[in-house]
Homo-oligomer: A and B are copies of this chain.
Amino acid sequence: MSDKDLNDLFLDTLKDIYYAEKQIYKSLPKMAKAAQSEQLRAAFEKHHGETEAQIERLEEVFELLGKPARGKKCDAIEGILDEGKEIMDEYKNTPALDAGLVAAAQAVEHYEISRYGTLKTWARQLDIKDAVKLLDQTLAEEKKTDETLTKLAMSAVNAEAA
């Protein structure tokens, strides 16, 4: 029987999202470059900057735990981003490309929303107050990005594709 507890699970999940954020940071410029509409490109560029700050916040959480900031391969984000790449290939130069890019980005956002929600709940149960604050800041940003993407999906981006 393992003696792992919620502290270990918190650290493992922190490593998972740290890895994920770094992959997302690398993929956002590619998505911005692929975007056809100016609005969507701007949304991806803005989120690229936010992601940088989110990575720094995660490094602060590692520091609060007295652990080195290290990622752990996250199969979920690999799969989600692979689907995004597939869309970029298959829908290149088509009127549906932007709609597909928004959908791919929303799948990413929802993965992050679930992870940050989980980590925030656990940080509260483990009574790491400063971590709760940092995780909540990022969670709010991710939800806002998802809302921006929903608005884009409902407006110009997809109307063109239909």
**Distance A122 CA – B161 CA, assembled complex (angstroms):** 10
CB-CB contacts of A89-130 with B at 8 A, as 1s and 0s?
A: 011111110011011001101110111011001100110000
Number of copies of this chain in the oligomer? Answer: 2
Of the candidates B2, B91, B102, B159, the one whose C-beta lies within 8 Å of that of A2 is B91
Chain B residues with CB under 8 Å of A5's CB are 94-96, 161-162
The stretch from A26-34, A41-49, A50-58, A150-158 touching chain B is: A150-158
Number of interface residues of A (CB under 8 A): 53
Q: Quick check: B2 and A92 within 8 Å, CB to CB? A: yes
Distance in Å: Cβ of A152 to nearest Cβ of chain B: 10
| B75 & A79 in contact (Cβ 8 Å cutoff) | yes
Complex contacts, A13 vs chain B, CB 8 Å: 103
